[in-house]
Structure 1
Amino acid sequence: MNVPTLRFPEFGGEWKKCKLGDVATGFDYGMNAAAKPFDGNNKYIRITDINESSSEYSYNDVVSPDAILQDFYLVKDNDILLARTGASTGKSYLYKSKDGCLYFAGFLIRINIPNDNPYFIFSQLHTTNYRKWITIMSARSGQPGINSQEYSSYPLYLTNKEEQSKISTLLSKFDERIATQNKIIDRLESLIKGLCLNLQLIGLKDNTWQKVYLTEVLTERKEKNKDNYEVHSVSVSHGIVNQIGYLGRSFAAEDTSNYHVVKNGDIVYTKSPTGEFPYGIVKQSMIIENVAVSPLYGVYMPENKYIGTILHYYFMNCNNTNNYLHPLIQKGAKNTINITNQHFLDNTVILPNNTEEIKNVASLLSSIQYKIATNNKLLNNYKKQKQYLLQHMFI
């Protein structure tokens, strides 16, 4: 029978199988225009402006379309946008009135849901079945892509509008809770960055902080991986992470005996450009056990764990990291970073000039980080709960 495995008790009967083209109209392609700085009113939504996690419009880099504006390309109530090309094929966005005057770009397809609950349809574009369908449909050519006719053939199931509404209301509550958790985490992360900067400025003014060469507080650890410790990588957002657990597979060589050992509290420098960190990232290992990292990484023992903690948060700020590394780096062919492990230590950072202050600052930053970790666990739980509902409240 065409019924979901999880259902509100007051509803019964089978759901009706149909295609996206049966419930949606339009399937229109967006405007072919470049982006220009935001004009204060007219926003331009491209594939990259749809948040990967929340599927909402991202306000990180608001732009306007650089073209003559036509109402045809305005996104309106009950509209859903679908990414039609590239690695993000299948990504979707449901219009919200809070996003205002929004024009959609050419690599997006717009559909409108005139008679059914648009969030109910939108939710079916976030199930495992949908992702599997996207993978199959978009793999037919070298460049992933799905056109409007193919999208219209996507199979889905409908129930009566009352059940659609009740399911949508429940899932929307999870969206609200997830959005709240993200805001809490963002504020705590901003608090850490702001505290680091303000403490430095006040400390320099009061002569309680000073510039210190890293050679004075860090010593390179040259221990090799003779005991075959698990290989880890370094992530901007998660620090030192297990390759298999975080990346889904190991990228390590078959023989890892020449890899560097990292112990709890050590500082690791990656030398790998990524995003806002064009000269690499610097993280402290919070892992209790000894682990191994690539021989391309630099590993350093801090004078004490408190110094290591402050450095971890100091280098969390991309401006601090880039300003520290830029004078030391030489970029080679293919944008490779040329810097020795020892030369990494040949610049200054701003640190407290007495042990008690170092301990207090490290403890303060660690306590905020603990709150961030706790809220991240809550966030992941809400996401898992919503995903469970998506998998069991739909067919």
Structure 2
Amino acid sequence: MANNNENKILNVPNLRFPEFSGEWEMSSIGEQFELYSGNTPSRMNKNQFDGSINWITSGELKEHYISDTKEKISEEAAKNNSLKLLPVGTFVIAIYGLEANGVRGTCSITTRESTISQACMAFTSKMDIQNEFLYSWYKKHGNIIGIKYAQGTKQQNLSYDIIERFNISYPCMEEQEKLIRFISLIDQRIATQNKIIDKLQSLIGGIGQRLTAGKANARLMDCLTCHSSTLQESQVLESGKYPVYGASGTCGYTDTPDYDGDAILIIKDGSGVGSTSFVTGKYSVIGTLNVLKPKKDVSTHYLYYSLKSFNFSPYRIGLAIPHIYFKDYGKATIWLPSNEEQRRRARLLSLIDTKISAERNILDMLAKQKAYLLSAMFI
């Protein structure tokens, strides 16, 4: 790689393949691409969603390539709603709901002919820039674009008028193709790493169900005590000695922890109701969590793996904001073997969990590596 850090006045990236030289060209998105936003067929006619044509929604733009969709529409639905059938290789981004981190900057390349919802925008190259090059450019800039340029109050979105005016720098076609191949190799490695993690999670799920299955002989409330908190996320500190846990992990810190020792945290209300995690040390939690602590001669790790595969659905109350109560699900019975057997089984599952953590660390490093290369090799 050639380092161009000293060429501040030239329109070139900081890092470049050594066989290429000269400044990159600059143009606008509108000049280089045909832009198109989709539509949503009426759900009053169920036949419109009884077809074989891919219909992409913004929440499905997670990977580099998208080949299948959760919902598919009929040819009649595509025709009635003026939905264009986009060719293989079309670049698609999310343009609605950009107030949410994790939605901004999401994009994919189609590998099958597809249609899109109105929450997406499609790009087809018409001049000098390949769609795959635009994909990497957008992976570098998309999150910032969503923060700085999205409009709206409750739901922020990007419009055609905004997107078409963005300038994009690009090299000759040969250099584009080499950059595309290089980034594609990194994405393939990331996709492989995700598959490794998925398989390990399936493995631990299957083994966990087998190892914690047996004739139910103990109620959860006889094995655990339940604690709740009234602490709100707005009350926690940005820094401190001990963590405060929320639904998605650490959400702040405190200097006066409420709990000490091993515990199982369960989300008791919201979209992730029933999700389970294991914590130890000194900590506090916000009010959306139940803190379950073991009673004498019960393995917290064994109960944790039992509850990871536990079906909370019969105990959920509410539609808009579902929630669960320990007084209800605590009456459920589970298989509780001898303490020695609990620990033996929990150790096996813990080893797989450790392996998953290690693989996730590798995935994080790959993601950071890709982010650095995008920042250095694209303008």
1:138-287 equivalences in 2 (<5 Å): 138-139=150-151, 143-201=155-213, 203-204=214-215, 210-220=216-226, 230-235=242-247, 241-244=249-252, 260-263=258-261, 265-275=262-272, 277=273, 280-285=274-279, 287=280
Give the direction of change, closer, same or farther, for the CA distance of 1:46–1:294 in structure 2 (3 Å limit): closer
Give the direction of change, closer, same or farther, for the CA distance of 1:335–1:44 in structure 2 (3 Å limit): closer
Tell me the percent identity: 24
Q: Which runs of 4+ in 1 moved over 6 A?
A: 221-225
1:34-183 equivalences in 2 (<5 Å): 34=42, 39=50, 41-51=52-62, 54-57=63-66, 61-64=70-73, 67-70=76-79, 73-87=84-98, 88=103, 91-96=106-111, 100-114=112-126, 115-127=128-140, 129-139=141-151, 143-183=155-195
Amino acid at match of 2:41: A
How many residues are aligned here? 352
Structure 2 CA distance for aligned equivalents of residues 79 and 224 of structure 1? 49
Aligned-residue CA RMSD (Å): 3.3
Structure 1 CA distance for aligned equivalents of residues 229 and 51 of structure 2? 56
Give the direction of change, closer, same or farther, for the CA distance of 1:211–1:63 in structure 2 (3 Å limit): farther
SS in 2 for 1:2: coil
SS in 2 for 1:313: helix
Q: CA deviation at 1:18?
A: 1.3
CA contact (8 A) 2:302 2:343 kept: no
Structure 2 stretches lacking a partner, 5+ long: 1-9, 232-239
Structure 2 CA distance for aligned equivalents of residues 223 and 122 of structure 1? 45
Amino acid at match of 1:322: S
Q: Which residue of 2 aligns with 1:247?
A: none
CA contact (8 A) 1:41 1:101 kept: no
Q: Which residue of 1 aligns with 2:3?
A: none
Give the direction of change, closer, same or farther, for the CA distance of 1:192–1:19 in structure 2 (3 Å limit): same
Give the direction of change, closer, same or farther, for the CA distance of 1:137–1:84 in structure 2 (3 Å limit): same
Q: Which residue of 2 aligns with 1:320?
A: 311
Structure 2 CA distance for aligned equivalents of residues 41 and 32 of structure 1? 15
Structure 1 CA distance for aligned equivalents of residues 134 and 365 of structure 2? 24
